[in-house]
Structure 1
Amino acid sequence: MGVPGPPPPGCGNDFADFAHSLAQNLSASHASADWRMVTVDLRNHGRSTNIEGLLPPHDVENTARDIANLAKYLDIWPDVVVGHSLGGKVVLQYALSSAQGDYGDSTQLPKQVWVLDCGPGAYEGGYGTEEALYSLKTLPTPIPSKEWLADYIINLGFPKSKADWICSSLKKSGEQWLLSFNVDGVVQMYTSAGGSDYWQLVEHPPKDMEIAVVRTENWDPDAAERLESLAKRERDESTGKVSVDVISNSGHWIYRDQPEKLMEIMTPRLHSLGGKVFLQYAFRCAQGDNDDFAQWSKQVNALLQYAFRDADYSALLEQPPKDTEIAIVRTESWASDAVERLKSLLRGKVMNPEAI
């Protein structure tokens, strides 16, 4: 029995298995958290090739705008965006455009921007993928099989890795094999991504935003060192932060090659958002912004990894809504001033257990 190959890059299904496992992991360790994850097919990929209205130019800026349009359609702005390779450039552009207000006044900045094995700078000649993709313009049809296509690409002088990558994008239609992406559009997207530079954004992230870069070991030393220095620098309250994690023994497809290691990196960082989400919901309920206030639990369990990080809910803690108890469970590593401030609130409705 044959084992199907991986889903085509640039398509939501390519990331779906990891996203599903991540959601299960988050729910298992924090059952009260409600995570909604949406995986997308970028323009010119998968099901998006048949969507009308995704007009050229097929560049990173318009691809990021597609994500914003989807958020508006779903009526929910994501707290976290994750992009791999080409998608890494897309989420960086999404973060930049959101901060600039390009998507309208209702835009909410993502709190975490995850960039998986994608450098923020421009690359001369793009990602080196355009030539392989461009060769598909003269591809004979129909395509007899994946093996035939792999041999065809290798005989043109491209490495086996490029052949495997393109072959993973084949889909069966009757007795024929077809590419699951639009060649012309995808070439434009990779060319645009290769020429896009987001070092300025990474050096000065918007306030309350974390840009989390997860990379493999085989990066350009200069780019790797530059990122490490940004992650280690002391930051002030006016800007966001940058973090860098390195996954060893992995190829470019980190979430396929080392999903457990990637999950170990992402899970605690995502958990750090959970407490803020609960506090924000409590605040909105108290303001009458939610119709289900009558059903609101009388106890808000906020599992916070960092006290008062990003959004500031100290006013809510000092004056909790009537019949609401805010229970904070903390580790021993909190700043002493935050601990003392919480202890001073014990006489109110805030419960502050000892460090665990």
Structure 2
Amino acid sequence: MAAISNLAGCSHGGNLGIFGERRSQFPSTSGLKTRISWSSKNQLAVGHLGKSDKNSGVRMALVDAKIARSGDFSKPSDILAFDLVQGALVKWSPAVVVDRSLPKPPTAVFLHGILGSRKNWGTFTRRLAQEFPTWQFLLVDLRCHGDSASIKKRGPHSVSSTALDVLKLVQQLRLIPRVIVGHSFGGKVALSMVDQAAKPFARPVRVWVLDATPGIVRPGGDGEDHPEELISVLSTLPKEVSSKRDVVDALLQKGFSKDVAQWVVTNLRPTKSPGSSPSTFSWVFDLKGIAEMYKSYEETNLWKIVEDVPRGVHVNFLKAERSLHRWALGDLQRIHAAEELAVEEAGGVEMHVLEDAGHWVHADNPDGLFRILSSSFF
């Protein structure tokens, strides 16, 4: 494995031309070529990727040769922590993007939900890379989450600003995503990426919104998911704990499920600060920022993208059969109506249902999800 850096921040300068460039048991992953990782804490093993910009005013337009030109890759820079999982036949590397003789492989971007991390998608994307060896899969820690929590971000912490982070990342990596997969909060981020990108698109782009609706998120009832309450409870816990088990027990006492409690403690890392006990753990997220992000998730309305799909975009919604997400009948009817309206060539809207799965679709039924998503990688 090799570690590289990602990029420096840049201001929002109009629409982004990111998609418009010219033309059960998981199997063994021995066929994978590599996984390239970067977080702000990593030491560089291959090289730094980034373009110095003293004014932080790089305009986002991947199809613009002036932006995509060879740059200064000698200085480290930060936007988001990421992993790049590549199939065995991928020859391209972000560490050598100045070599234009290397063709850019088809790329899929995977986005996690609130209180998640890029690690949520690790096993699943390694399986995809095994099955589709010419593809690569970009996994990111969204702002305030995982290793990206240590990268300072200017507010507001919203769906829109989170999407812009990802757009900046793929712009700096000189990648043209052909598939974007977002789970829950990440699903709205995927839609916002399309909203902020320049259009029309020169190539088809498939967007997958997993167990999330494009509109207002409704309060949950008994037995449903309560992320806002979970965030509130987590805010009362110590920033440093001696046992993951204690955190799980505390969340169980507050009425959260064992699955949720065990998932949350994946955000704990061994504490390495001077004077700390080796057995203590610290949270890796920025909970205050995450609370702001979740509020934005509840309030952000992106129906305009669904009901007026940009040319070259195909939006796929996936509902988990046992979803804890608040799927209203009106939302489902509205999506089905949008399916009929989306008649543009290489564009459209489609609704899917994943059987035998709850909200954590990639954990509950990875085989079923793999079969549904696989159509995007041929």
TM bin, normalised by shorter chain, reads: 0.5 to 0.7
Pick the aligned partner of 2:175 from 57, 73, 76: 76
1:122 matched residue in structure 2: 216
Aligned pairs for 1:312-323 (under 5 A) are none
Write the distance in 1 (CA, Å) between the matches of 2:279 and 2:189. 35
SS of equivalent residue, structure 1 residue 79: strand
Q: Is contact 2:362-2:369 (8 Å) kept?
A: yes
Larger relative contact order, structure 1 or 2 (CA cutoff 8 Å, min sep 6): 2
Write the distance in 1 (CA, Å) between the matches of 2:187 and 2:218. 17
| 1:311-349 alpha-carbon deviations (Å, 9 max, x no partner) | xxxxxxxxxxxxxxxxxxxxxxxxxxxxxxxxxxxxxxx
Q: Confirm or deny that 1:270 pairs with 2:374.
A: no
Aligned pairs for 1:314-333 (under 5 A) are none
SS of equivalent residue, structure 1 residue 243: strand
Structure showing the higher helix proportion among its residues: 1
| 1:110–1:84 Cα change, 3 Å | farther
Q: Confirm or deny that 1:199 pairs with 2:303.
A: yes
Write the distance in 2 (CA, Å) between the matches of 1:117 and 1:209. 19
Aligned alpha-carbon RMSD (Å): 2.6
| 1:34-88 alpha-carbon deviations (Å, 9 max, x no partner) | 2121100001111101123x21111111100000110121012211111101111
Write the distance in 1 (CA, Å) between the matches of 2:191 and 2:268. 28
1:275 matched residue in structure 2: none
- One-letter amino acid of the structure 2 residue matched with residue 13 of structure 1: K
Unmatched tracts of structure 2, length 5 or more: 1-112, 272-277
2:355 matched residue in structure 1: 248
| 1:226–1:83 Cα change, 3 Å | same
Pick the aligned partner of 1:96 from 182, 185, 195: 195
- One-letter amino acid of the structure 2 residue matched with residue 266 of structure 1: L
Deviation at 1:8, TM superposition (A): 9.4
Pick the aligned partner of 1:139 from 234, 237, 245: 237
Write the distance in 1 (CA, Å) between the matches of 2:186 and 2:209. 8
Q: Confirm or deny that 1:86 pairs with 2:193.
A: no
SS of equivalent residue, structure 1 residue 47: helix
Q: Is contact 2:214-2:302 (8 Å) kept?
A: yes
| 1:11–1:108 Cα change, 3 Å | farther
SS of equivalent residue, structure 1 residue 138: coil
- One-letter amino acid of the structure 2 residue matched with residue 194 of structure 1: E
Write the distance in 1 (CA, Å) between the matches of 2:204 and 2:193. 9
| 1:255–1:157 Cα change, 3 Å | closer
Aligned pairs for 1:328-343 (under 5 A) are none
- One-letter amino acid of the structure 1 residue matched with residue 163 of structure 2: A
Q: Is contact 2:241-2:282 (8 Å) kept?
A: yes
| 1:162-221 alpha-carbon deviations (Å, 9 max, x no partner) | 433322322222311222211101111111111111122111110111001122124433
1:48 matched residue in structure 2: 148
Write the distance in 2 (CA, Å) between the matches of 1:59 and 1:109. 28
Q: Is contact 2:164-2:193 (8 Å) kept?
A: yes
Q: Confirm or deny that 1:11 pairs with 2:109.
A: no
- One-letter amino acid of the structure 1 residue matched with residue 205 of structure 2: K
2:68 matched residue in structure 1: none
1:61 matched residue in structure 2: 160
Q: Is contact 1:60-1:90 (8 Å) kept?
A: yes
Q: Confirm or deny that 1:112 pairs with 2:206.
A: yes
Pick the aligned partner of 1:186 from 290, 308, 312: 290
Deviation at 1:100, TM superposition (A): 6.5
Give the TM-score normalised by the residue count of structure 2.
Answer: 0.61
Of 15-24 and 141-150, more deviation after overlay is shown by 141-150
Aligned length: 252
Write the distance in 1 (CA, Å) between the matches of 2:304 and 2:311. 14
- One-letter amino acid of the structure 2 residue matched with residue 169 of structure 1: N
Q: Confirm or deny that 1:230 pairs with 2:338.
A: yes
- One-letter amino acid of the structure 2 residue matched with residue 21 of structure 1: R
Deviation at 1:132, TM superposition (A): 1.6
Q: Percent identity?
A: 32
2:131 matched residue in structure 1: 25
- One-letter amino acid of the structure 1 residue matched with residue 332 of structure 2: A
Deviation at 1:125, TM superposition (A): 5.1
| 1:161–1:220 Cα change, 3 Å | farther
Unmatched tracts of structure 1, length 5 or more: 1-6, 28-33, 102-106, 272-356
Q: Is contact 2:355-2:368 (8 Å) kept?
A: no
